[in-house]
Amino acid sequence: MPELPEVETVRRGLSPAMDGQIITRADVNRPDLRWPFPERMADRLTGRRVLRLRRRSKYILADLDSDESLLIHLGMSGRMTVSGDPLGQFVRNHPAAQKHDHVVLHMGNGARITFNDPRRFGAMDLLDTQTAEQHKLLAGLGPEPLGNDFNETRLIDAFRGRQSPVKSVLLDQKVVAGLGNIYVCEALFRASLSPRRKAGNIAAARVAMLVPIIRQVLSEAIDAGGSSLRDFRQADGELGYFQHNFDVYGREGQPCRTPGCTARIRRITQSGRSSFYCAQCQR
């Protein structure tokens, strides 16, 4: 499933084609994805101006001039792509319709935004913009890791007394929003922390170090266009390439990249997910 960097990359790719633009027509080609679409979704989108496109955790929200927001979740295989030439820079011809093009937004600037999802694990909903944070998918989410509310004090407090493995705590969306398996593995490697370590047993100074490390890993991944492992594509259809920079994720049995380390990357299963780490560098 796309994590924060992939979703932010898609948001940035969509923004030039959608911000300030009117949805002249919305085609909704099926009644549902993971859940049913809201009633009259096509009618409620058609003619509305997109005031801004933003991200909350792993969700994209398009705030409309109707005081509603379109919530978008990519799921396991969902893609949002832009076609046309909205900025007058180069021509991206509109492709022929595909079998799994479930929602298509025709923008006033000539752009076409297509949501394609072969496995239909994605989701869309319309919600009141003023109370968006109370939506069932957004309520209870922790701070954004790239925002000011995510800081050393808050993370130290979240770790205090926790006997769960540090990796499990960082994956808790109530502790920090948007982090997923890939980037937690990478951050723990940079912090020299084993994913097995109990969160409450880690010294406060080492917990504090995680904050800038997490931000750095996420920022580098965003700059690289995210990580393309299976289905992820950027809004222009291109692949991300941060996967080429992985230190541990997906590298089971390969040599550790730390200079002077002779160990190989291990994989263990924690709560049904694979954790990759170097047992020599991460304690």
**pLDDT class of 253 with cuts at 50, 70, 90:** very high
**152-277: which CATH topology?**
Helicase, Ruva Protein; domain 3 (1.10.8)
User: Given this model, what pLDDT does residue 37 score?
Assistant: 97
Q: What is the pLDDT of residues 6-32, one digit of tens each?
A: 899 999 989 999 999 999 999 999 999
Cβ atoms within 10 A of the Cβ of 161, count? 8
Whole-prediction pTM: 0.91
Annotated catalytic residue, options 11, 58, 167, 266? 58
Active site residue 174: no
Task: Classify domain 4-134 by CATH number.
Answer: 3.20.190.10
Active site residue 160: no
Active site residue 273: yes
Active site residue 58: yes
Annotated catalytic residue, options 3, 6, 8, 68? 3
Q: Of 1, 73, 3, whose CA–CA distance to 222 is shortest?
A: 3
Domain definitions of the chain by residue range = 4-134, 152-277
Q: Which two tokens stand for residue 223?
A: 């700059």
**pLDDT class of 137 with cuts at 50, 70, 90:** very high
Annotated catalytic residue, options 49, 54, 154, 273? 273
Q: Between residues 226 and 61, which one has the greater pLDDT?
A: 61
